[in-house]
A and B are shown apart, each in its own frame.
Chain A
């Protein structure tokens, strides 16, 4: 089994406002209203907050360290206030160390709001999206950013749409299997260093690193670039992890699955992923077997389990005391 300890996992504890803006301005149509903000201010909480009550004056338990979203309701309330009351309200809000404010539905911030925000160095963004949509988008983005990341040593390949991670000792031939699979029309996600992130319940998404992309080392050749060598059809940037295949030299003392009736799993960040231990012996084509593993996974996924099916047939046959006869009763003059 592959070894995973706390050293393999990392988690971001903050992102800067600058990073947040760079990453989201095009995706969420964000525009910047303030000029004099502190770009190195950080976001540490992945939840969002709507500061309706804080604007109205109730600041006990105010979750000020979250991104504050101002929508139609807050804007509607602020509009009925006089300019002085609004100023007071903003002043009360901005005294807290707020990471940033997002105004939705294309609302324009009040001039005094921008003035005070600049004074307190608080960033104000605006978006033309609705509050529901922006809350969903930003939450999803922050959840991904703050999710723990697991870095593993292996080759991650999309085989017939199934994300297979090949693990095993150094030099056992993970990269060679990946290369062979690419040659047969499958797509490589990453080689050597793969980073997995939990996405939602029970889903692990994997990708390579920005630096290495689809470069790969093949013993005896050196470093090659899969993308420039095989083209865009041979790569993908991300894939859901669905299977872990561990390659190992055949060991007489290890028991390998013979029926496939009991499927094993491996726990990665508390998610159980189907796991296959594949011994390597002379004359065994690991690439073809990997394709078969992927196809078998797909068959099971769509409700057909070959091992169970044969077991069923066997039990039926025993129940009916049927003779184990030839598949064809009588070769009726068909000698093909």
Chain B
């Protein structure tokens, strides 16, 4: 299991488009992927789930990967978060 604590850094926060990209990235991998914010734990492969977090700029989320390809998945997805969803 890989766990990453990460901050949302783009101005618009985790809105619909980044949410769609995240689930698209996550769907490529077999591992389970969860995002946790303030105790709300959602499935990172569900777009409604990711949007439910309503993660605004500056908020902190925890990404959890668990499964055979967790390493590759975490690298690609954490990288996308770090790039501010390519909106910087």
Q: Which A residues have a C-beta under 8 Å from some C-beta of B?
A: 3, 7-10, 151, 153, 170-171, 191-193, 209, 211-212, 215-217, 223
Complex: chain B residue closest to A12, CB-CB: B39
How far, in angstroms, from A205 to B48 measured CA to CA in the complex? 21
With contacts A153-B49, A192-B48, A212-B52 taken as known, whether A170 is within 8 angstroms of B43 at the C-beta atoms is yes
With contacts A211-B54, A216-B48, A223-B48 taken as known, whether A153 is within 8 angstroms of B27 at the C-beta atoms is no
A to B contact number (C-beta, < 8 Å): 51
Contact A10 B52 (CB under 8 A): no
Q: Which residues from B are CB-within-8-Å of A153?
A: 42-43, 46, 49
Q: Which residues from A are CB-within-8-Å of B10?
A: none
Complex: chain B residue closest to A191, CB-CB: B48
Closest beta carbon of chain B to A230's beta carbon, Å: 17
With contacts A193-B52, A211-B54 taken as known, whether A217 is within 8 angstroms of B47 at the C-beta atoms is yes
How far, in angstroms, from A212 to B46 measured CA to CA in the complex? 13
How far, in angstroms, from A308 to B47 measured CA to CA in the complex? 43
How far, in angstroms, from A153 to B42 measured CA to CA in the complex? 7
With contacts A170-B27, A171-B27, A211-B54 taken as known, whether A10 is within 8 angstroms of B40 at the C-beta atoms is yes
Closest beta carbon of chain B to A223's beta carbon, Å: 7
Selected from B39, B41, B46, the residue in CB contact (under 8 A) with A217 is: B46
Q: Which residues from A are CB-within-8-Å of B34?
A: 7
Task: Give 10 closest A-B pairs by Cβ, nearest first.
Answer: A10-B39, A170-B45, A192-B48, A153-B43, A7-B41, A193-B52, A192-B46, A8-B41, A192-B49, A217-B47
Closest beta carbon of chain A to B77's beta carbon, Å: 14
For the complex, count residues of B whose C-beta is within 8 A of A: 19
Contact A7 B64 (CB under 8 A): yes
Q: Name the prevailing secondary structure of the A interface residues.
A: strand
Q: Which residues from B are CB-within-8-Å of A192?
A: 42-43, 46, 48-49, 52
Q: Which residues from B are CB-within-8-Å of A209?
A: 52
Q: Which residues from B are CB-within-8-Å of A215?
A: 48
Contact B36 A193 (CB under 8 A): no
Say whether B51 faces chain A, with CB atoms less than 8 Å apart: yes
Closest beta carbon of chain A to B51's beta carbon, Å: 7
How far, in angstroms, from A223 to B64 measured CA to CA in the complex? 25
Q: Which residues from A are CB-within-8-Å of B49?
A: 153, 192-193
Q: Which residues from A are CB-within-8-Å of B48?
A: 191-193, 212, 215-217, 223
